[in-house]
Amino acid sequence: MTDFKARYGPWALVAGASEGLGEGFARSLARRGVNLVLVARREAKLQALARQLTSEFGVEVVARSEDLACPEAPESLLGSLDQDIGLLVFNAAYSGVGLFSEVSSTDLQKILSLNTFAPLLLARQMTPRLIARGCGGIVLMSSLSGNQGSGNIATYAASKSFNTVLAEGLWHEMKGHGVDVLACCAGAIRTPAYQSAQIGGEAPGILDPGVVAEQTLDALGSGPVVVPGTLNKLANFLMRRLLPRATAVRVMSNTTKELTR
């Protein structure tokens, strides 16, 4: 834990921290003694979480309400912070569930702005700072749905694929500078967003947010991609390596067809 704080502290920024997995990341980082900048749109939730984490773990926590889907928000956010941030966890996402032929252009723009441009711009601003420090990390949240195309969430799945591939490239570029980059390709996570989008039963291998956050932070520095959970690791191997691509698309689409807004 002390090593973690020395390598990635003293401050981490968690983007999309007001609930679900983002809250899980905030809690796991606070437990490791790292101070936090928590970002999301709902300020009251962020403030309540900040108070909780400070009283439970004695860390400093700053809550910042921002809509990261706004094109200027990512760059102005980092520019306005004077904390020495050693770790960026980009967790915020918008899924815009629905058939592609019926999704509005506003939704398409929101998916791309939040899921791809925001992490891209934040990572771009962070990398020179981290190179100058000679240590630090970047975690980008991806998904097993980004391993192949997926019906009903085609744009979201493509945006998650972007995050995996971006993290792999940055991992390669940054490892010589002492900076660890990681994509977390998660399977289903028991978050409020998942629970409200899922009309059938829970997906096999579903994990609690705290477990995904812990396994992800533990994997930082051990390679470009982590898949939390044993069953998800098996599914990942099957879908990426064993099944023909068209079959993998069918299998994934079968699990995402039941998702609803």
Ligand X SMILES: NC(=O)c1ccc[n+]([C@@H]2O[C@H](COP(=O)([O-])OP(=O)(O)OC[C@H]3O[C@@H](n4cnc5c(N)ncnc54)[C@H](OP(=O)(O)O)[C@@H]3O)[C@@H](O)[C@H]2O)c1
Smallest gap from Cβ 177 to ligand X, in A, equals: 26
Query: What is the rounded distance in angstroms from the CA atom of residue 261 to the CA atom of residue 253?
Result: 16
Strand ranges inside the chain, DSSP E: 11-15, 35-40, 61-65, 85-90, 136-143, 179-186, 225-226
Determine, following the binding rule CB under 6 A, whether residue 188 of this chain makes contact with ligand X.
yes
Amino acid symbol at 66: E
The verdict on 77 binding ligand X (CB under 6 A) reads no
Question: Which residue in 156, 194, 233, 257 is the catalytic one?
Answer: 156
Cα distance between residue 182 and residue 222, in whole Å? 9
- CA-CA distance, 156 to 203, in Å (whole number)? 18
Give the strand order in the sheet containing 61-65: 61-65, 35-40, 11-15, 85-90, 136-143, 179-186, 225-226
Contact predicate 8/85, CB 8 Å? no
By CB under 6 A, residue 114 contacts ligand X: yes
Binding mask 1-40 for ligand X (x = CB under 6 A): ---------------xxxxxxx-----------------x
Q: Which two tokens stand for residue 29?
A: 């980082």
**In the set 53, 174, 189, 239, which binds ligand X (CB under 6 A)?**
189
Residue nearer to ligand X on the CB measure, 144 or 179: 144
Per the annotation, the verdict on 160 as an active-site residue is yes
Span interacting with ligand X, options 55-63, 67-75, 96-104, 252-260, rule CB under 6 A: 67-75
Nearer to ligand X (CB atom), residue 5 or residue 141: 141
Residue span binding ligand X (CB under 6 A) among the ranges 147-155, 172-180, 189-197, 216-224: 189-197
Site residues, ligand X (CB under 6 A): 16-22, 40-42, 45, 66-69, 91-94, 114, 141, 143, 186, 188-189, 191-194
